[in-house]
């Protein structure tokens, strides 16, 4: 983790950040499956078959990929989630077709949504605008072919010792393309680098 943060702090420019993103955050076997490519393959295949996408379009991101959370400064442990990214334009558009119907019902005042749900839904649309679908932000009144319930029932069914990943909670979102996932991940790294720079400046000021 310290080596990763040091390399991030020293990265110069967008190209260096993109290289770090691809090499460390996205490419290769996740830390959770280190030394066991077979389990990783079957885990991806299980998810791919459920959503009718290629297993190459199933990624593990975050601390389960790196083995630590650079944002929280902590090692991956049993309090951590397994973050799955599904990279499929077809799946993304499939979900969007349900959202279209739901949005039309809102426009026609045929759906009753609380202020709290509406705020979550607006956040869902904000993520959607950058190519990331987060079903956890859908209102409870959303009933697009039971999409939300089916989504969470499935990922619950492969969590907590019920799949190759072990005794962890599995969560997931759908990205429109690999490029959208890259840009989102690089954005997070850029924000983390800025916080490291601010921290370094504060430390220097305190020692002065």
Give residue-wise pLDDT tens across range 148-205.
888 999 999 999 999 999 999 999 999 999 999 999 999 999 999 999 987 665 565 5
Q: Does residue 51 sit within a domain?
A: yes
Q: Does residue 96 sit within a domain?
A: no
Q: Does residue 47 sit within a domain?
A: yes
pLDDT band at 41 (very low <50, low <70, confident <90, very high): very high
Residue found under tokens 């954005």: 187
Question: What pLDDT shows up at residue 140?
Answer: 72
Euclidean distance between CA atoms 68 and 77, whole angstroms = 8
What domain count does the chain have?
A: 1
pTM as predicted: 0.87
**Whether residue 145 has pLDDT greater than 60:** no
Q: Does residue 158 sit within a domain?
A: yes
Residue found under tokens 């702090």: 9
Q: Does residue 116 sit within a domain?
A: no
Question: What pLDDT shows up at residue 146?
Answer: 73
Q: Does residue 153 sit within a domain?
A: yes
DSSP 69: E
Question: What pLDDT shows up at residue 202?
Answer: 58
pLDDT tens sequence across 60-99? 999 999 999 999 999 999 899 999 999 999 999 888 887 8
* Residue range(s) defining the domain that contains residue 180: 2-88+145-207
Mean pLDDT score, 130-149:
77
User: Which is it for strands 169-175 and 81-87: parallel, antiparallel or unpaired?
Assistant: parallel
DSSP 200: H
- Mean pLDDT score of the chain, rounded to an integer? 89
Q: Does residue 118 sit within a domain?
A: no
Euclidean distance between CA atoms 122 and 200, whole angstroms = 36
Q: Does residue 54 sit within a domain?
A: yes
109 membership: H or E segment, kind and range: none
């Amino acid at each position: 983790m310290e080596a990763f943060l040091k390399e991030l702090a020293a990265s110069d420019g967008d190209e260096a950040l993109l290289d770090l993103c691809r090499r460390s955050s996205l490419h290769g076997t996740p830390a959770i499956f280190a030394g066991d490519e077979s389990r990783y393959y079957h885990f991806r295949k299980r998810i791919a078959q459920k959503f009718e996408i290629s297993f190459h379009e199933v990624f593990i991101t975050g601390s389960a990929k790196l083995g630590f959370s650079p944002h929280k400064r902590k090692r991956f442990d049993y309090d951590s989630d397994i973050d799955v990214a599904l990279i499929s334009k077809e799946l993304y558009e499939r979900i969007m077709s349900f959202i279209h119907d739901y949005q039309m019902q809102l426009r026609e005042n045929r759906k009753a949504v609380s202020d709290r749900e509406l705020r979550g839904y607006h956040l869902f649309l904000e993520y959607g605008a950058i190519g990331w679908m987060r079903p956890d932000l859908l209102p409870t009144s959303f009933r697009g072919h039971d999409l939300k319930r089916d989504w969470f029932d499935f990922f619950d069914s492969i969590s907590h010792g019920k799949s190759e990943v072990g005794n962890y909670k599995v969560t997931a979102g759908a990205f429109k393309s690999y490029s959208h996932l890259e840009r989102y991940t690089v954005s997070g790294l850029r924000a983390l680098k800025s916080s490291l720079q601010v921290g370094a400046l504060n430390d220097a000021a305190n020692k002065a």
